[in-house]
Amino acid sequence: MTKSLRHLILDNIETTLAGITVANGYRTNFVKQQISRSALDFERQMLWPTVLIGVSDAPEELTSGSLPTHDEVNRRLTVDLTLGLNGLTSTLPEDVEYAIADILKAMAADATRGGYACTTDDPEIREPTYSQIIEGHAFVTISYEITYRHRRTDATIQ
């Protein structure tokens, strides 16, 4: 079965985030097992840092007047970065900033998400929060607006 463009864009984001490693020149190390699209997996996550990719639909639909068979669909992909450092709360704010910078750098490398998207807009970065319940854990959300186009009758075709 052919994947939709939306699915391919999400696959690209997962692959991009999994490439954030010290060996690739970053300060943060992610592995595929630390990246999830499922909130259930995220809640059970024991590997740190971890990333949850959440997706919400934007109801806005832009059509190009001369091509009524195409539509441009906007999606807001929310990338949640969660860091947990056992007892190293003194360096946690700095580690959060390094991880944010690493995600920004990796996501900026290809605004077309592997050629499946028209563009990836500059992100919105929310203020990190530090857990009062589990010492050594921080949460931060980085939101991207990714625009892509598919045929009205087939979400697998640009």
Q: Is residue 63 a part of any domain in this protein?
A: no
Instruction: Extract the tokens encoding 131.
Output: 């857990």
CATH number of the domain that residue 139 is part of? 3.30.2000
User: What's the pLDDT at 9?
Assistant: 92
Instruction: Count CA within 13 A, CB hemisphere, residue 20.
Output: 27
User: What's the pLDDT at 82?
Assistant: 67
User: What's the pLDDT at 85?
Assistant: 57
Q: Is residue 156 a part of any domain in this protein?
A: no
| Number of folded domains that form the chain | 1
For the chain (158 residues), the mean pLDDT of every run of 10, in chain order, is 90 94 93 76 65 71 49 64 61 88 96 93 89 79 85 76
Q: Is residue 158 a part of any domain in this protein?
A: no
Q: Is residue 125 a part of any domain in this protein?
A: yes
Q: Is residue 86 a part of any domain in this protein?
A: yes
Q: Is residue 139 a part of any domain in this protein?
A: yes
User: What's the pLDDT at 17?
Assistant: 93
Q: Is residue 64 a part of any domain in this protein?
A: no
**Residue 13 domain boundaries:** 5-58+69-151
This prediction has a pTM of: 0.83
Q: Is residue 101 a part of any domain in this protein?
A: yes
CA distance 74 to 51: 22
Let me know: does 96 contact 138? Beta carbons within 8 Å.
yes
Who contacts 100 (Cβ-Cβ below 8 Å, separation ≥6)?
A: 81, 125, 140, 142
